Structure formats: C-alpha cells, structure tokens
Chain A
Amino acid sequence: TQLLEQSPQFLSIQEGENLTVYCNSSSVFSSLQWYRQEPGEGPVLLVTVVTGGEVKKLKRLTFQFGDARKDSSLHITAAQPGDTGLYLCAGGDSGGGADGLTFGKGTHLIIQP
C-alpha cells in the first residue's frame, strides 16, 4: 500500500498570511489530486496534477507536483477565512492497477479573521 504523509496536520493562521502545506511519499504516483473538505460535506476536488514538475494555479492557490512525482505542495497566498477546511491530497497508483486513490490524512487549516 502506498502512503501519503501530509504536513502539518493542523495549521491556524491569521487572514492575509501565506502558507504552504505538503504531501510526501516514498512512492511514485501517476497523478496527484488535492481536495478540500468542509464540515458536514464530502471532499471536493481542487486540482489534479499529472506531470512531474507541474505547477497549477487556482486564484490564490498554487499546486506543485514534485519532479519525481513523489510529493506535492499547496501554497495559499493571502489566506482568507473562506479557505478554512480540511485539505486532502490523493495519489493515483502508478502500478497500473485500478484500485482507486490513496488519501493522505489531511491538513486541518483554520484562517482566523
């Protein structure tokens, strides 16, 4: 089973600050997805990255896939209270199997107004 480690587990910062959360593994993934989950709801996809070194931007969010496709980061610029939530990374098996995604345990992010 491939494992994804997310750090930090918990992060509480003030509105307007920048932050980066990380998703690391010793395994290679065919792709990596980031989801955000709000209380009482299911996760919602933010982005999928598939190429080593790929960088994608979604407004104030910047996602990067590591060159070796073993890690990823999510950077938020000028965080806002609406960014509060649980951020999950999920990796696709590079072994060719159709066994779904491997999820990290998530980063709980709180943005204080």
Chain B
Amino acid sequence: EAQVTQNPRYLITVTGKKLTVTCSQNMNHEYMSWYRQDPGLGLRQIYYSMNVEVTDKGDVPEGYKVSRKEKRNFPLILESPSPNQTSLYFCASSLSGWGARTYEQYFGPGTRLTVT
C-alpha cells in the first residue's frame, strides 16, 4: 500500500531534550516536506527536499533540522525543543519537485508533539 509513515504518532518531551521524528515513504517520490499545523495558523511548511541530499527552508525553519540521505526517508530533528514547538507535525511527499505544486501531496498521519 502506498503510504507515508511517521513515528512516533504522539510524543511528550521536556525542553532541551533532542528528538527525532521519522518519516518514510514507499512511493519512490522525489519531493518530501515537513509541515506543522497550529490552531488559527493552519499548515506551515518547515523544510522541504527536492531529492536526496537537497534540502531547503520553508516558511518556519527556526529550531528544526532535516536530512535526506536516502530517497525514502526524511527525518525531522529538534536539537533543543522548546514549548513553542508544541504542535501537530505532518510529513508529505509528492512525485516531483519542480512542478510539485501540481502533483498530489501524500500526507502522513501526523505526529502530535508536546514540549513541556
């Protein structure tokens, strides 16, 4: 089954404790992206990746890191989480980078992160 998986689905952590949220897709998609979704603010892009070893900042990259060492995986790293990073996070992938806007983005099920 074509899908994007994220782990963990739920995470409660404390300020400053490094964490990684994994994302994997099995559709051989080139383009992958991370979003956060907050009430009243909608979905905002954190980082995206056009292909392996190619990543770039989205609208809200501060406090986050990503890597794309393999085509299927795109982990999101919070080196020193803070309470303002409490949010619902979505990973997404699509077939292509250029012209990605016209391609369907497949979203993962989300990771609900709480930083205390």
Contacts and interface: CB of A to CB of B under 8 A. Distances in A.
Interface of A: 1, 29-31, 33, 40-45, 48, 50, 88, 90-93, 98-101, 103-106
Point out which of B35, B40, B102, B110 has the most chain A C-beta atoms below 10 A from its C-beta.
B102
B74 interface: no
**Which 4 residue pairs of A and B lie closest in terms of their CB atoms, listed nearest first?**
A92-B101, A42-B107, A105-B42, A103-B43
B13 interface: no
Nearest to A104: B42
Interface of B: 4, 33, 35, 40-45, 48, 50, 56, 58-59, 90, 92, 97-98, 100-102, 104-105, 107-110
A43 B59 contact: no
Contacts of A92: 100-102
Contacts, number: 67
Contacts of B92: 42
Contacts of A100: 33, 45, 48, 58, 100-101
Given A45-B104, A48-B104, A100-B100, 11 more contacts: A31-B102, A42-B4, A42-B110, A43-B105, A88-B43, A90-B43, A92-B101, A98-B50, A101-B45, A101-B100, A103-B44
Point out which of A99, A100, A106 has the most chain B C-beta atoms below 10 A from its C-beta.
A100
Given A48-B102, A92-B101, A105 B40 contact: yes
A88 B50 CA distance: 23
A104 B40 CA distance: 10
B58 A99 contact: yes
Given A99-B48, A105-B42, A42 B108 contact: yes
Nearest to A96: B98
A29 B50 CA distance: 20
